[in-house]
Amino acid sequence: MDAAGRIEQGDLLVLDDRILAIGSDVAPILERLGPDAELRRFDARGALVLPGFVHGHMHLCQTLFRGAAEQSDLLLWLRERIWPLEMQHTPDSMAASVRLGLCELIAGGVTTINDMGTVHHTDVVAETLIDMGVRAVFGPALMDAGEGVPDGMLRPARAQLDDTLAIARRYDRAGDGRLHVSLAPRFILSCSEGLWHDVAAVSRERGMLIHTHIAEAPTEGAAVKGAVGVHATPYFEKHGVLSERFVGAHGVWLDEEEMGIMARADAALVHCPGSNMKLASGWADVAAWKRHGIRCGLGSDGAACNNRLDTFTEMGLAAGINRVKHRDDPMSARDVVALATCDGARALGLFREIGSLECGKQADIAVVDVSTPRCAPFGLDDPYTALVHGANSSDVTLTMCAGKVLYDWGDWKTMDPLAVVAESRREGLALLDRARAAGTLR
């Protein structure tokens, strides 16, 4: 997935956390090392070796809510289920939610996530990310206003920003450099004008990413215009929020003028097709984003509105939606794989380190078996089509992040999946009981 579009048949050599050599460059190095060198070998015959997937928009705090928030309108979904459930998280339930999400993501070849948490227990999210071995951009959701937001989730803007900066001092570049802390104002309807002003200032001063939601659903768009007089994009432009450090999830309802504003600011967007369809939000026009030159990636959103955290599903949906919208000139399968790898890395500002298999880059790698019947007969001949239209997450045989194996042929190296599932069941039921007892669920 490099700029040259290379596909090579051969070996890939990793030293520590970096890719040392690829293809024909590997054999001379092995010869110099000699037959007694201690090497760990992984057989990838019949498989594709590709960059680890980059999940551009996630809510790991919502994994415990899978199947418990089935409303099909964004604002009702948030007000009647998600915010009341998020309010009831404890440190234990948060850790269980993060582990459950990562258990699925890692087995599906994901090595990098961009996560928006809730308003509390962000330290638990950070510690769990470190323990599980993934690469992540993450931050607490910032909320200081909004209809239907539980009182316990609203705090003064300055206090929330101070908490985020404290998290950044403790965890930015933690986990051997894998973690990056972001500013994560939830969306316009839950953030005051003053909060957006402060977020923009802190982002400029400290170079922190801003991760938020933009133009996700028609009801949200109408509510935003009613609240601030304009749609989200010109509002963000007016308040200095848009820049190369801006990552906006969804972008379903952006018009041509708004896409132009995003492109001029070099802001990025993340396509979440499964979530958009399940919440009846609409179909984003990723081809139009790309035509305007907007950096863009792919994500699943949270398990409460998808319910899968599966890159292969999202790639297939992204390709299908694009073909419906642009039947005479659809994106290629390679374009779709790029959304989940190199383009996703660019959207998060991480392409110098990840997103393609190149010497010197971080050894974030996924291996996908395409010798299965669903990818036959041409899985190795046309890898992009095999990945987008044939393979699924069960075909992933190896996931490596920063040179460390996280998953190998059904064996999770940083967690016990049976224990994770049991813990999620226990903590999920207890969380639902707390929410019911609080009388906030509708």
Measured over the CA atoms of residue 251, residue 162, residue 125 and residue 83, the dihedral's sign is: negative
Residues 6+ apart with CB under 8 A from 58: 101, 113, 114, 115, 116, 299, 300, 301, 302, 309
Q: Is the pLDDT at 280 greater than 90, yes or no?
A: yes
DSSP 240-252: T--STTEEEEE-T
pLDDT tens, 298-338? 999 999 999 999 999 999 999 999 999 999 999 999 999 99
Contact (CB, 8 A) for 288 and 259: yes
What CATH class has 51-347?
A: alpha beta
Q: Classify 172 as helix, strand or coil.
A: coil
212 vs 247: CA distance, rounded Å: 7
235 vs 239: CA distance, rounded Å: 6
Q: How confident is the model at residue 248 (pLDDT cuts 50, 70, 90)?
A: very high
Q: Which two tokens stand for residue 386?
A: 């095999």
Which amino acid type is present at position 210?
I
Q: Which two tokens stand for residue 38?
A: 């201690």
Calculate what percentage of the chain has a pLDDT beyond 70.
Answer: 100
* Mean pLDDT along residues 143-158: 92
Place of tokens 């492109």: 263
What is the length of the chain? 442
365 vs 400: CA distance, rounded Å: 5
- Going by C-alpha positions, the residue among 264, 256, 310 that lies closest to residue 285 is 256
Which amino acid type is present at position 20?
L
DSSP 350-378: -TTTSSS--TTSB--EEEEE--SGGGTTT
Side-chain half-sphere exposure of 369, counting CA atoms within 13 A? 16
Residues 6+ apart with CB under 8 A from 253: 215, 216, 217, 218, 221, 231, 282
Q: Classify 314 as helix, strand or coil.
A: helix
pLDDT tens, 376-394? 999 999 999 999 999 999 9
* Mean pLDDT along residues 347-367: 98
6 vs 206: CA distance, rounded Å: 36
For the question of whether the overall pTM of this predicted structure is more than 0.75, the answer is yes
Q: What are phi and psi of 310, to 5 degrees?
A: -130, 110
pLDDT tens, 37-74? 889 999 999 999 999 999 999 999 999 999 999 988 99
Q: What are phi and psi of 422, to 5 degrees?
A: -60, -45
Residue 174 confidence (pLDDT): 98
Q: Which two tokens stand for residue 134?
A: 């993934």
Q: Which two tokens stand for residue 73?
A: 């309108």
pLDDT tens, 406-436? 999 999 999 999 999 999 999 999 999 999 9
What number of helices (H) and strands (E) belong to the chain?
Answer: 18, 17
Q: Which two tokens stand for residue 140?
A: 């607490």
pLDDT tens, 252-275? 999 999 999 999 999 999 999 999
Q: What are phi and psi of 328, to 5 degrees?
A: -90, -15
- Going by C-alpha positions, the residue among 361, 380, 362 that lies closest to residue 370 is 380
Residue 35 confidence (pLDDT): 87
Residue 72 confidence (pLDDT): 80
Residue 164 confidence (pLDDT): 98
Measured over the CA atoms of residue 86, residue 268, residue 208 and residue 315, the dihedral's sign is: positive
Place of tokens 């090579």: 8
* Mean pLDDT along residues 341-366: 98
Mean pLDDT for the chain? 96
Q: Is the pLDDT at 442 greater than 90, yes or no?
A: no
Residue 440 confidence (pLDDT): 84
pLDDT tens, 60-115? 999 999 999 998 899 999 999 999 999 999 999 999 999 999 999 999 999 999 99
Buried b (16+ CB within 10 A) or exposed e, 94-116: bbbbbbbbbbbbbbbbbbbbbbb
CA 168 to chain centre: 19
Helical H segments across 294-356, by residue range: 311-325, 333-340, 342-347
Which amino acid type is present at position 334?
R
142 vs 213: CA distance, rounded Å: 12
Pairing relationship of beta strands 365-369 and 295-298 according to DSSP bridges: unpaired
Q: Is the pLDDT at 151 greater than 90, yes or no?
A: no
Measured over the CA atoms of residue 18, residue 22, residue 25 and residue 27, the dihedral's sign is: positive
Measured over the CA atoms of residue 317, residue 231, residue 342 and residue 74, the dihedral's sign is: negative
